[in-house]
Amino acid sequence: MMGKLHQQQGAVLDIQIMADPAVTDFIDTHSSVLDSAIQQQSMSEGMRKRLQRSNYIFSGMKTFHELNEAFPSLLDENGNRKPFEQFLNDVQKIDSTYNRNYLRAEYNFVQASAGMAARWESFMEDGERYNLQYRTQKDNKVRPEQSALDGVTLPPSDPFWQEYFPPNGWNCRCTVVQVRKSKYPVTSHAEAMERGQEATGKDTRGIFRFNPGIEQKTVPDYNPYTIKRCKDCDIASKLAAFIPDNEVCAACQLVRSCYNGKTKKTERERIESNKKLYDRLSKDKKYIDVDFNPENGAVKATHVGHNVGSGEGFRLEKELVSKLYSCGHAVILCDEQKKGRDGNVLPSLDMVLDGVRMDIKSITKNKAFYGAAIREKNNQLARFNARSDVHENADTLCLYFNDPAMFAPEKITKGFDYMVSKTSKEIFIKHIICIINSAKGLEIKKYDFT
């Protein structure tokens, strides 16, 4: 990126450099670091994609400031252009400041924001059933001003949570939990807002007064790399017609255009890849019910050796495939009748979803947690991975919830912990994908266990 900057001519930075591949590659790399901070969070795929978009735009605006700060170093004290190696050496301090010192705090903030966004999404599933309570870590590292917020208790619909939901600053460790309405008295709205103002008084510009779950962003629009008007700017919805009147707005427009272009390219490549998969499977006599939707790139196919039946499990599996296909996924039901040299049927897995092989378990009974089901499927993965023709271990389980009332995040994490405590053999499950047939449509939430 600095090599591309070194080629710049003129007295001011050419904003069009933001769309140069060398710069967009740098933005991609920076945003991927921030994306890694949210990988362990359980949330809907929709929420995850919007948070990743926020990471990209934040990374782009930060990159613009880094370029702006490095640009004056192109010339020496006599106004002559420096040799590239000298210029690169002179901007190392900028790299260290932005991509070591700042990035460490930004990573922590994004991680906290993503965690609270996931928590907010979970809270919304319960509506007004519980109140929410603000809690600090109650140790000697808690900032005195943020202690004022500890214990604030209000319903989720109170506007207080729009401004004072954590994180409320760099390296903020505060959280919010659900509490029973009968257990804690509700704080008056006026008192809560007063305590919020006291806690965030040093944030005079109000940069951190946002709710990452409501706004579906890891970083607020107004942050150290943007300007105050970004709070109310509607650039995202009128990008083509927007005429920037300053460098920051112009850079933001280009960053968003690059992101939109990147997203469209990724989607186009996905559809093209799935079309090739369809072309191959449609010519393979071992697959039936092969279909492709050119609008959303969905593919579905069933191996002739896949087990079928009329029971509840088979019905739910068929329903799951239909819903995934309608949402644009590639769903391949696998061979479950392949035999080994001894003539016995080999252990198998049910499905390949978007290129990932996994076993399916439809949840039909509401339990405190699903440890037994997860343990059963870990054993199935172990048997499948022991096959001599398996060269890459399968590590994913799909849990399907036709009844959304049976799903709760803690039932998955508790179930995994239970499975680990009861299993003396190797743990093969590294990812659990929960597919929930909710009123909002099909929701997919991924849990990673490493």
Q: How far is CA 417 from CA 216, 331, 423, in A?
A: 29, 29, 10
Q: What is the pLDDT of residue 229?
A: 84
Q: What's the confidence (pLDDT) of residue 190?
A: 96
Residues 240 and 109 in one domain: yes
Together in a domain, 368 and 399: yes
**For residue 201, with 0-12 CB atoms within 10 Å meaning exposed, 13-18 middle and 19 or more buried, which class applies?**
exposed
Q: How confident is the model at residue 239 (pLDDT cuts 50, 70, 90)?
A: low
Instruction: Please state at what angle helix 21-36 crosses helix 103-125, rounded to 10 degrees.
Output: 60
Q: Are 346 and 339 in contact (CB under 8 A)?
A: yes
Residue 212 included in any domain: no
Question: Of the ranges 21-25, 205-209, 345-349, which one carries the lowest mean pLDDT score?
Answer: 205-209
pLDDT at residue 201, rounded to an integer: 76
Task: Look up residue 284 and give its amino acid.
Answer: D
Average pLDDT over residues 197-201: 84
Position 185 in a domain: yes
Q: Give residue-wise pLDDT tens across range 251-306.
A: 999 999 999 999 999 999 999 999 999 999 999 999 999 999 999 999 999 999 99
392 burial (CB, 10 Å; 0-12 / 13-18 / 19+) is exposed
Average pLDDT of every residue of the chain: 92
pLDDT of 72 higher than 90? yes
Q: What is the CATH number of the domain that holds 306?
A: 3.40.1350
CB proximity list for 303: less than 8 A, separation 6 or greater = 286, 287, 332, 333, 334, 335, 336
Q: What is the pLDDT, as a whole number, of residue 262?
A: 93
Q: For 398-422, what is the mean pLDDT?
A: 94
Portion of the chain with pLDDT greater than 90, in percent: 80
What integer pLDDT is reported at residue 240 of this predicted model? 53
Residue with tokens 């990812």: 431
pLDDT tens for residues 91-147? Answer: 999 999 999 999 999 999 999 999 999 999 989 988 999 999 999 988 888 887 778
Higher pLDDT, 369 or 207: 369
pLDDT of residue 13: 93
- Does pLDDT of 181 surpass 60? yes
Secondary structure of the chain as H, E, C letters? CHHHHHCCCCCCCCHHHHHCHHHHHHHHHHHHHHHHCCCCCCCEHHHHHHHHHHHHHHHHHHHHHHHHHHHHHHECCCCCECCHHHHHHHCHHHHHHHHHHHHHHHHHHHHHHHHHHHHHHHHHHCCCCCEEEEECCCCCCCCHHHHHHCCCEECCCCCHHHHHCCCCCCCCCCEEEEECCCCCCCCCHHHHHHHHHHHCCCCCCCCCCCCHHHHCCCCCCCCCCCCHHHHCCCHHHCCCCCCCCCHHHHHHHHHHHHHHHHHHHHHHHHHHHHHHHHHHHHCCCCEEEEEEECCCCEEEEEECCCCCCCCHHHHHHHHHHHHHHHCCCEEEECCCCCECCCCCECCCCCEEECCEEEEEEECCCCCCCCHHHHHHHHHHHHHHHCCCCCCCCCCEEEEEECCHHHCCHHHHHHHHHHHHHHCCCCCCCCEEEEEEEECCEEEEEEEECC
Percent of the chain with pLDDT over 70: 98
Residue 322 placed within a domain: yes
Confidence band for 395, pLDDT divided at 50, 70 and 90: very high
Q: Which of 201, 233, 253 is the endpoint of a domain?
A: 201
Q: Is 130 found in the same domain as 113? A: no
278 falls within a domain = no
Instruction: Kindly list the distances between the CA atom of residue 448 and the CA atoms of 34, 89, 377, in Å, as whole numbers in the listed order.
Output: 17, 40, 16
Reported confidence tier of residue 235, pLDDT bands at 50, 70, 90: low
CA separation for the pair 289, 307 (Å, rounded): 14
Please check whether residues 39 and 183 belong to one and the same domain.
Answer: no
Instruction: Give the span between the Cα atoms of 316 and 406, in whole angstroms.
Output: 15
Assess whether pLDDT exceeds 60 at residue 36: yes
Give domain status of residue 355, yes or no. yes
Q: What pLDDT score does 41 carry? A: 82
> Considering only CA atoms, which of 386, 354, 282, 450 is closest in space to residue 45?
354
Assess whether 333 and 438 both reside in one domain: yes
Please check whether residue 277 lies inside any domain of the structure. Answer: no
355 Cβ neighbours under 8 A, 6+ residues apart: 330
Local confidence band at 170 (pLDDT 50, 70, 90 cut-offs):
confident
Q: Domain check: are 166 and 263 in the same one?
A: no
Number of other residues whose CB lies within 10 A of the CB of residue 93: 12
Q: Residue 156's closest CA among 185, 134, 136?
A: 134
Whether residue 237 sits in one domain with residue 180: no
Q: Across residues 363-380, what is the average pLDDT?
A: 96
Average confidence (pLDDT) over 352-381: 96
Structure tokens at 170: 């760099």
CB-CB contact of 357 with 332 (8 Å):
no
Give the end of a domain, one of 138, 170, 201: 201
Q: Give yes or no: residues 340 and 361 share one domain.
A: yes
CB 211 within 8 A of CB 161: yes
Q: How confident is the model at residue 378 (pLDDT cuts 50, 70, 90)?
A: very high
Calpha distance 380→398 (Å, rounded): 13
- Range scoring the smallest mean pLDDT among 242-246, 368-372, 379-383: 242-246
In a domain, 279, yes or no: no
Residue 405 token pair: 């009332």
What is the average per-residue pLDDT within 188-195?
Answer: 95
Domain that holds residue 340: 284-448
Average pLDDT over residues 182-209: 88
Instruction: Among 176, 201, 226, identify where a domain stops.
Output: 201
* Claim to verify: residue 61 and residue 188 sit in the same structural domain: no
Residues 426 and 331 in one domain: yes
The confidence score (pLDDT) of residue 242 equals 64
pTM over 0.85: no
Q: Which two tokens stand for residue 99?
A: 């991509």
Q: Count structural domains, the chain.
A: 3
Q: Is residue 93 part of a domain?
A: yes
- pLDDT confidence tier of residue 176, bands split at 50, 70 and 90: very high
228 and 373 share one domain: no
Contact in structure between 6 and 85 (CB atoms under 8 Å)? no
Tell me: do 170 and 288 sit in the same domain: no
Say if residue 313 is exposed, middle or buried (CB neighbours under 10 Å; 0-12, 13-18, 19+).
Answer: middle
